[in-house]
Amino acid sequence: MKFVGVDIGGMSVKVGVVTDKGEILFKKSAICHPERQDSEIAAEIASLINVVIEESGVQRSDLAGIGIGCPGSVYDKKGVVRYSCNLNLRNTPLAAWIAERVGIGNVRLSNDANCAALGETLFGAGKGAMNSVMITLGTGVGTGIVVDGKLLTGNKSAGAEGGHIQIDVGGRTCGCGKKGHFEAYASATALIAQTKEACAKYPDSLLAKLAASEGVDGKLPFHAARAGCPVAQRLVKRYIKYVGMGLVSFANIFYPEVIIIGGGISNEGDAIIKPLQRYVSRNVYGAEYNPKIKVVAATLRNDAGIVGAAALCM
């Protein structure tokens, strides 16, 4: 059986043809235009799906369904995106619109982090675990939670929005407009903002010089830290503490076998995974008595969303 998986992000949309073993046969991405009307966003996504189907050589009759992962509050059963703070989607019947534009009736929709968690638990770093939490560090912070082998989505799929737990009362403004949320400190967007602030404060630092020559992204502070820049090293250490605070909160509530770190920042590997493992091991409640919680990088990497979205139809 073959499926189409769609991973919608704040900056791009990725679409792939996936087998029932979680293998991606063909994939392609395109720039997302989050400021456009929801119907236009849906049309762009549908267009990319049609291109992927055509270029992959797969017959539509061989496709068992389309799974879509979208950031924000998603009502899975009705295929509606209630609200996405990083995309112009408000009570958008996205599943129905995609089905109409692509001509495939079986279209399933869920939160993008839920999809990534499902993909990693079935086919990636969490394979074999009955309880897992996946944290995706990207434009925002997505969380997907698997309890007793099933996705935990809450009342009418409105739950599992861990990026919006509060870690600092009255703190930084989140993309959703509220203050002090985990996402406002731990997302790649937040790290970029923190990097720019550090560059402005320390204009003679190696971090600032690299920013001027290379531009600022989520990789820059780690690059500068490895090169010995003390400003970048402090920045990375503080950022990891922010992420760790959120992980400990999830660990104390769900106590999973594994916490999976996804998103572009997970590509830093041991530079972020090892200190996060130490932070969780030291700070989780009852650590000296309870089973160890493993912190690992997503093995499906940036494909987790595509594979997990396709898995909605499996």
The DSSP result for 35-60, as a single string, is: TS-HHHHHHHHHHHHHHHHHHHT--G
**pLDDT score at 282:** 96
Q: Give the pLDDT confidence score for residue 184 in this predicted structure.
A: 97
Q: Are 7 and 112 in contact (CB under 8 A)?
A: yes
* Domain range for 261: 127-298
Which pLDDT value is given to residue 263? 85
Q: Within this chain, do residues 66 and 205 fall inside the same structural domain, yes or no? A: no
Residues in the chain: 314
Q: Which residue has the higher pLDDT, 302 or 54?
A: 54
What is the reported pLDDT for 296? 97
Give the mean pLDDT of 180-197. Answer: 97
Q: Phi and psi dihedrals of 109, rounded to 5?
A: -135, 140
pLDDT at 85: 82
Alpha-carbon distances of 127 from 7, 10, 292, 311, rounded to whole Å: 20, 27, 17, 14
- Total domain count, the chain: 2
Whether 254 and 145 map to the same domain: the answer is yes
Q: Whole-angstrom Cα distance, residue 126 to residue 71?
A: 21
Provide the 8-state DSSP code for 166: B
Q: Are residues 96 and 195 in the same domain?
A: no
Question: What pLDDT is recorded for position 139?
Answer: 85
Q: Strands 132-137 and 141-147, how do they pair?
A: antiparallel
pLDDT of residue 269: 93
Q: In the 3-class helix/strand/coil scheme, how is 258-304 assigned residue by residue?
A: EEEEECHHHHHCHHHHHHHHHHHHHHCCCCCCCCCCEEEECCCHHHH
Q: What Rg value do the Cα atoms of the chain yield, rounded?
A: 19
Note whether 197 and 237 are same-domain residues.
yes
CA distance 278 to 102: 47
Same domain, 107 and 133: no
Q: Are residues 134 and 225 in the same domain?
A: yes
Pair of tokens at residue 167: 């870690």
The total of other beta-carbon atoms located within 10 Å of residue 95's CB is: 25
Taking the whole predicted model, whether its pTM rises above 0.85 is answered as no
| CATH code for the domain of 97 | 3.30.420.40
Taking a C-beta distance cutoff of 8 angstroms, is the pair 236, 228 a contact?
no
* High-pLDDT (> 70) share of the chain, %: 100
Q: pLDDT-based confidence at 204, cuts 50/70/90? A: very high
Average confidence (pLDDT) over 280-293 = 95
On the question of pLDDT at 24 being above 90, the answer is yes
191 lies in the same domain as 102: no
Cβ-in-10-Å burial (0-12, 13-18, 19+) of 193 comes to middle
Q: Residues 257, 292, 302, CA angle at the centre, nearest 5°? A: 45
pLDDT at 80: 98
> What's the angle, vertex CA 101, arms to CA 140 and CA 15, rounded to 5?
40
Beta-carbon count within 10 A of 168 CB: 14
Q: Where are the beta strands (DSSP E) in 124-278?
A: 132-137, 141-147, 150-151, 258-262
Q: What is the pLDDT of residue 222?
A: 98
Q: Do 137 and 101 fall within a single domain? A: no
CB 248 within 8 A of CB 280: yes
User: 145 with 45, same domain?
Assistant: no
β-pairing verdict for 150-151 and 2-8:
unpaired
Residue 65 pLDDT > 90, yes or no? yes
Question: pLDDT grade, residue 235 (50/70/90)?
Answer: very high
Whether residue 143 is found in the same domain as residue 289: yes
Q: Are residues 270 and 160 in the same domain?
A: yes
My answer on whether 114 and 198 are in the same domain is no
Average confidence score pLDDT of the chain:
95
